[in-house]
Amino acid sequence: MNRFIKILVFLYLLMASLSCKTQISERPFIWVKQEDKADILHKIETQPWAKTFYASFKNRLDNDLALYKKSPKKFLEKLPFDWANQQPGKVPPFKTFNNFTDANFPERFTLNKYLQIGIDAGVLYFLTEEKIYAQCALDILHTFNESITQLQPSEKKGNGGWIYPNDHLREARVFGAQVPVIYDFIATFLNAGNQPFDLGKNNFTNFSDEKAQTVFLTYAKLAAEHGHTGSNWSVLESFSLVQNALALKDPKQREKYLDFYLKKGTDTQDALPDISKKYKEEGDVYPETSQYSVGVAIFSARLLLMLDRYQSNLQLGKKHYKIPFSLDCWNRVVYPNNEIIRFGDGKRKLDAPYVSYDMAYHLGQQNKVTQLTEKFGPLVSQSITEGKYDRAKVGERSEDVTVYYTPIKLLWFNTTQDYTFEKSALPRTDKFPHAGVFLQRNLSPTENPDDGLMCFVGGAQMVHGHASGMDMELYGLGEVLGVDHGRGQYRTDLHENYSRLFAAHNTVVVNGASQGDGGWVNLGMNSTELMTMEPMPTKEALSPNYSFSRTSFMDDKGDKAEATQERTMALVRTSPTSGFYVDIFRSKSALPDEYHDYLEYEINRFRIL
């Protein structure tokens, strides 16, 4: 019996020890821990980029706090309050925004900016222990909590928010994700009994930890319970979900909401394993159009690094390295003029996410994932050497609809090992199956972008895809000549009734009836399939001057099309400075009295048949 009791005690202590490892109690711990401070301060002293960053970072914040130092009251009064509904002695509630216009942008950005200021002040308090920074961060946090808790969160499961009642997806990034970070950095200041300035009382008052926890729990719930699965949506909400979960004091609640990201999601929130499944092979991308696909990798890389720093035994960088590995994969679809192929709502230009390359490199170092360090180490080294990426740059306050993370460069990054960068040749042909894209390129030995040739055939269903049919683009004379119309302004008549439909693409419309059906906003369609290609994607070519693809597409959504289609696209180089394309489209409907309209843009002046 005694032995049995000893075993039980041992198991209890073991479980308690493991629990302690997963539930860290001393704040801060979301971005950094107390034991990180000495190394960060040493880095500022010894690494030139860190010293420059820190000086600029501190100077920017000190400029932002000029009014605060004169009058916290006047500083806080600039927030977008609904003064007409202020109750006596209370901080007024925030205004809510049901739409986003140029007229209300200054108010919306002010709130976003103040939360960024709160984070920066928290970071500088952590590094300097100067109370003015902690006090400012505390005053912003208190004001936010007192104001927002007077509002009723939306119950709309689709996209209901709080300050943005109809757009939690946006609110999660610009407001929701920021608030818990401020709290985490100044928790020790709060625990020492310091009080915030209260606008309603025009005096200092007690901080309501209960309201703070309500705010964190509400934002975590909004992320977990609103929205939808199967798109980049869950990833865009994930910072708000995770960082608010980490701000919760109740260990069970914290674990519950963290698990919605780490293990198993909800019917409206994909978990990390769900996202990771999309990356079956190294080099796969998230199945979306360009900027949305890259955004998934950018957000995920930061979260993987953050959570592995929070709890090193998670080893997320090892388990899910294929996500950050994809960060530069869209470079494979770059035209010679540095624009990228366009399909669906994709953009024509895509800036290289150098900070995220750095994030992937450090994730690889932290988790000993050589695939990441060997891929992104050279890219980071090259971008720094060529002046494309400057770690020391702080920049202006972010107006973008994204999570604020500027300080993490200083907190997380270190000097990168010097790597030799060797530019690898892009393959003559390539594929992006999720978009039904099969491309050909033939770059000129002159290395002049005007002499390069490139084309693709594509089309498939995805969240930000279009009902495009079997679409294509051509490139020559230094520009895209067979132009895919691309994205218009969402919810406008042009976008809804033209940009996203068959008529805006280089394809065939059968019997005036070719269309998408079901799926994402009724744009569901079949994928373009590869029948044969020379060379096959990424393989060696038989000829330096000739390539072709033969693809097929079933146009059978809705009524009155019912067509089987094939497309042969050939690229022929005739000299280092000339060439032409051959494009043969076959379309056969099973219906009587059929007709097939071929819609084509800006091609005939270049293509020679």
Mean pLDDT is lowest, of 132-146, 194-208, 482-496, for 482-496
pLDDT value of position 3: 57
Q: What is the 3-state secondary structure (H, E, C) of 513-539?
A: CCCCCCCHHHCCCCCCEEEEEECCCCC
pLDDT value of position 44: 98
Contacts of 294 (CB under 8 A, 6+ apart): 327, 330, 350, 353
pLDDT at residue 94 is higher than 80: yes
pLDDT value of position 593: 86
- In the chain, the percentage of residues whose pLDDT exceeds 90 is 87
Q: Kindly tell me the number of DSSP H helices and DSSP E strands found in the chain.
A: 20, 13
Q: What are all long-range contacts of 386-391, with beta carbons under 8 Å and residues at least 24 apart?
A: 388/352, 388/354, 389/354, 389/355, 389/357, 389/358, 390/49, 391/49, 391/50, 391/53, 391/358
Instruction: Give 81's DSSP letter.
Output: B
Q: What is the pLDDT of residues 228-241, one digit of tens each?
A: 999 999 999 999 99
- In the chain, the percentage of residues whose pLDDT exceeds 70 is 94
Q: Which residues are registered as beta bridge partners of 533?
A: 549
pLDDT value of position 490: 83
pLDDT at residue 250 is higher than 90: yes
Judge contact between 353 and 298, C-beta under 8 A.
Answer: yes
**Distance of alpha carbon 221 from alpha carbon 36, whole angstroms:** 31
pLDDT at residue 53 is higher than 50: yes
pLDDT at residue 220 is higher than 70: yes
pLDDT at residue 337 is higher than 70: yes
Q: What is the pLDDT of residues 404-427, one digit of tens each?
A: 999 999 999 998 888 887 777 899
pLDDT category, 24, cuts 50, 70, 90? Answer: low
CA distances to 36, 66, 174, 197, 355 from 61, in Å: 22, 9, 19, 19, 21
pLDDT at residue 428 is higher than 80: yes
pLDDT value of position 422: 79
pLDDT value of position 6: 47
Q: Please name the residue that has the structure tokens 């990771």.
A: 276
Give the DSSP letter string of 378-444: HHHHHHHHTTS--TT---SPP-SSS---TTHHHHH--PPPP----PPPPPSEEEEGGGTEEEEEE--
pLDDT value of position 424: 78
Q: Which domains does the chain have, with CATH numbers?
A: 429-598 (2.70.98.70)
**Distance of alpha carbon 367 from alpha carbon 309, whole angstroms:** 10
Give the DSSP letter string of 330-375: GGGGB-TTS-B---TT--S-----HHHHHHHHHHHHHHT-HHHHHH
pLDDT value of position 602: 44
Give the DSSP letter string of 147-193: HHTTSPPP--TTT--SSSTT-HHHHIIIIITTHHHHHHHHHHHHHTT
pLDDT category, 2, cuts 50, 70, 90? Answer: low
Mean pLDDT in the chain? 93
Cα 372 off chain centre by: 19
Tokens (6 digits) for 454 = 């490139």
Mean pLDDT in residue range 179-200? 98
Mean pLDDT in residue range 494-514? 92
Whole-prediction pTM value? 0.91
Q: What is the pLDDT of residues 534-567, one digit of tens each?
A: 999 999 999 999 999 999 999 999 989 999 999 9
pLDDT value of position 23: 53
Q: Which amino acid is at 126?
A: F
Whether a cis peptide bond, with omega within 30° of 0, leads into 93 is no
Q: What is the pLDDT of residues 309-334, one digit of tens each?
A: 999 999 999 999 999 999 999 999 99
